[in-house]
Amino acid sequence: MTYELYYWDGIPGRGEFVRLALEQAGADYVDVVRSDGGMARMMALMKNKTAGFVPFAPPFLKDGDILVSHAANILLYLGEKLGLAPRDEAGRIEANGLQLSITDFVVEIHDTHHPIGVSLYYEDQRDEALRRAENFIEERLPKFLGYFEKQLVRNSEGQIHAVGDMLTYVDLSLFHLVEGLRYAFPKAMTAAEPGYPLLVALNAQVRELPRIKAYLASERRLAFNEEGIFRHYPELDRA
């Protein structure tokens, strides 16, 4: 069965955390909205008035009759099937907890450019964004990066992994977090990275995985831009 990933076209966004897992596993999937008639299919699912469950927002995944919403929930669902989740229950629960901390971090990253409302343009909340981004770079960025770094320190023996002794979807998501932060806040990240050597090494390690490397070089990988979560507004960045 082909997995159907539903997510907006044009941005990596929250869908990217799922794409990376599907790509690393070499899974059979279709990025629905990027295929012919895909946008209409996504809208039809989201406006369904009779089905039992409709997702609040993309991304969501369809696997036959199973409909899974939220990146963390999708990764929890796919993790075992794709061989990208720990084999033991405690590890799977831990992986989901770490992924939910990534989710929390992603909200805060997004809100640096949208602190007042998602319906407003960035330009209409720029003053508040300047203040929020300053607080983010001073306090939240080191808090989250420090948390994930410590998790890698506590866990890793030899190979660098977030959970257990194998590659999991959490590692792929941490790779993407660092990528996105480098795009959005190059000055802050250049200054910060020496403090997080395992996160930096994990990023480099994931980038060299053959399937990830091929994916990153393909047209399936969308570039970061100022429509997504990780946006580069130079005025929000600082060392």
Residue ranges in contact with its own copies by CB under 8 A = 49-56, 60, 65-70, 72-73, 76-77, 89-90, 93-94, 96-98, 100-101, 103-104, 107, 111, 115-117, 119-120, 125, 128, 131-132, 135-136, 139-140, 144, 147, 150-151, 154-155, 163
By beta-carbon proximity to its own copies, the closer residue of 80 and 227 is 80
**Smallest distance from its own copies to CB 136, Å:** 8
Q: For residue 188, give Cα distances in angstroms to 139, 158, 185, 227.
A: 12, 29, 5, 21
Best CA proximity match to 221, nearest among 12, 18, 59: 12
CB of 167 within 8 A of CB of 84? yes
Bridge-based pairing state of the strands 29-31 and 60-63? unpaired
Report how far residue 72's alpha carbon sits from residue 178's, in angstroms, rounded to the nearest whole number. Answer: 18
By beta-carbon proximity to its own copies, the closer residue of 35 and 48 is 48
By beta-carbon proximity to its own copies, the closer residue of 55 and 212 is 55
By beta-carbon proximity to its own copies, the closer residue of 170 and 209 is 170
By beta-carbon proximity to its own copies, the closer residue of 136 and 212 is 136
Task: Provide, for the chain, the percentages of residues in helix, strand and coil under a 3-state DSSP scheme, each rounded to the nearest 5.
Answer: 60, 5, 35
**Smallest distance from its own copies to CB 25, Å:** 19
**Smallest distance from its own copies to CB 52, Å:** 5
**Smallest distance from its own copies to CB 238, Å:** 15
**Smallest distance from its own copies to CB 66, Å:** 5
3-state secondary structure 141-185: HHHHHHHHHHHHHHHCECECCCCCCCCCHHHHHHHHHHHHHHHHC
